[in-house]
Copies of this chain bind each other. A is one copy, B any other.
Amino acid sequence: MVKKLSDWPELPQAQCGSAELSEEQSPARGYSPHHVSQALLTDLYELTMMQAYFERAMEDEAVFSLFVRRLPQHRNYLVAAGLDDVLRFLETLRFDQAAIAYLERLGLFSDRFLRYLARLTFAGDVYAVPEGSVVFGNEPLVEIVAPMPQAQLIETAVMNQIVLQTVLASKAARVVAAAKGRSVVDFGMRRMHGFEASLKAARAFYIAGVDSTSNVAAGQLYGIPVAGTMAHSYIQAHDDELAAFRNFARVYPDTMLLVDTYDTLAGVRKVVQLARELGAEFKVRAVRLDSGNLGTLACESRRILDAAGLHSVGIFASGGLNEDVIRQLVESGAPITGFGVGTDLGVSRDAPSLDIAYKLVAYGGQDRVKLSPEKLVLPGRKQVWRVEEDGRAVEDVIAKATEDLPGRPLLFPVMKGGRRLIEGPTDLGTARNRTRDEIARLPDRIRGLDPAIPPYPVGLSRDLQGARDEIYARLRQERV
């Protein structure tokens, strides 16, 4: 019943007109993982298209627009993030020798084209909403203006980096909203999609209002506050739970103690016992509940602590949390002072990716769009204007980039001719304040956790509507 290798269908690249590796490089022969060339962080079709453009000298200026078509069901808005990594990628984009050697082995590319790649750098312009901005469906987060081959090459990497942090920042904003001012700590690293994801997630979470992360490398890399105390294994490694608490509090007097390894309330009583032992030396800040009915256990723990006069010992909750559970706990009045949130936040479980698109909207000075009935694309370079009244956002209007409309513009030039217009990385404090301020200015139904009815209004300027209608009419006519 076992299918043999030889029974399996031909490899797909034969059908797809793509490259097949020679026998010597095939994984079945023990290919050695080695170097990753930055410029190869792309889809193969970007490179095959590039060569086709190159062959016909189609290097005119192209405009690509990156936007999210539809928001996921439980997102009333998105928090844009990831731009800094995009700009760093573009600044340093090079085909190194290993990249050229690999592409040569694929047998798809001419020597002339490979020599061209070896000299290539990104020399385009980038317009973008600053990190931490609140955005909605169809609004451009990034627009790239560059010679067609360059703008095409970078598509995959730009989308990959924007989607990662925007997905996670947008989820985090909901968790932060549910916690209503209580602290939120990122505990997600262990169940995220790799190390890079865990680092950039911690950054995106911080922008979105999460207070700290358990991820030490994210603290090192971004200067984000780090948090964490003990695991069940620490308790288990001792013969006695109280002894474990005693030892840990000796090293970290103002720590938080994990009380649910064996029996949560018995654990809380041991914290009380420790407080009696230590007297004035007792400085434990909180107990942590990590399983069971967190609402009930928090109330009972509070009662036990208060009865012992330990009013200043907080209650921190973790274990299976997301914005819905946190909202329930907060609304039920559970005396919880902070939340550690892991998996659901770490992979944005209910919406782990976005319907994000990177679409050609102009080429050689002419508006261009794809004609697909269910997927409208807005032609040309654009701007988004946010109209606010009495400090509250009331409407966004997507317009042609050349228009000047009421409200404030969301997109700014951030790179010119391949060079950043602002030195150095995004300031995370600034981005975090931006998110906080922009969310504070949203209508209540949009800031809330329930699907907003109606959704936030996003309109098109008259000029953009005109340009869109014109190009669609022309395309439809050409098809007739």
Interface check A279, CB cutoff 8 A? no
Smallest CB gap from A180: residue in B: B9
Q: Are B184 and A12 neighbours in the complex by a CB distance under 8 Å?
A: yes
Q: For A40, what are the chain B residues with a Cβ–Cβ distance below 8 Å?
A: 216-217, 219-220
Interface check A335, CB cutoff 8 A? no
Interface check A152, CB cutoff 8 A? yes
Cα distance A196–B195 in the bound complex, in angstroms: 8
Q: Are B161 and A194 neighbours in the complex by a CB distance under 8 Å?
A: yes
Interface check A200, CB cutoff 8 A? yes
Between A31, A189, A196, A216, the greatest number of chain B beta carbons within 10 A of the residue's beta carbon is seen for A216
- 9-residue interface stretch from A50-58, A121-129, A300-308: A50-58
Interface check A437, CB cutoff 8 A? yes
Interface check A453, CB cutoff 8 A? no
Q: Give how many A residues have a beta carbon under 8 Å from the other chain's beta carbons.
A: 169
- Option from B56, B190, B338 in Cβ contact (under 8 Å) with A15: B338
Smallest CB gap from A374: residue in B: B291
Which residues of A (389-410) have their CB < 8 Å from a CB of B? 391-392
Interface check A173, CB cutoff 8 A? no
Q: Are A392 and B9 neighbours in the complex by a CB distance under 8 Å?
A: no
- 9-residue interface stretch from A73-81, A224-232, A458-466: A224-232
- Option from B51, B217, B234 in Cβ contact (under 8 Å) with A41: B217
Q: Are B427 and A12 neighbours in the complex by a CB distance under 8 Å?
A: no
Q: Are A197 and B198 neighbours in the complex by a CB distance under 8 Å?
A: no
Q: For A200, what are the chain B residues with a Cβ–Cβ distance below 8 Å?
A: 194
What is the CB-to-nearest-CB distance from A19 to chain B, in angstroms, rounded to a whole number?
Answer: 5
From known contacts A236-B360, A237-B62, A427-B27, infer whether A15 and B314 are also in contact, taking CB-CB under 8 Å.
yes
Cα distance A40–B195 in the bound complex, in angstroms: 11
Q: Are B261 and A160 neighbours in the complex by a CB distance under 8 Å?
A: no
What is the CB-to-nearest-CB distance from A175 to chain B, in angstroms, rounded to a whole number?
Answer: 13
Smallest CB gap from A58: residue in B: B237
Q: For A46, what are the chain B residues with a Cβ–Cβ distance below 8 Å?
A: 228, 231
What is the CB-to-nearest-CB distance from A288 to chain B, in angstroms, rounded to a whole number?
Answer: 8
Q: Are B160 and A2 neighbours in the complex by a CB distance under 8 Å?
A: no
What is the CB-to-nearest-CB distance from A478 to chain B, in angstroms, rounded to a whole number?
Answer: 8
Q: Are A360 and B237 neighbours in the complex by a CB distance under 8 Å?
A: yes
From known contacts A14-B285, A160-B191, A197-B193, infer whether A152 and B433 are also in contact, taking CB-CB under 8 Å.
no
- 9-residue interface stretch from A133-141, A325-333, A365-373, A412-420: A365-373
- Option from B37, B159, B375, B429 in Cβ contact (under 8 Å) with A28: B429
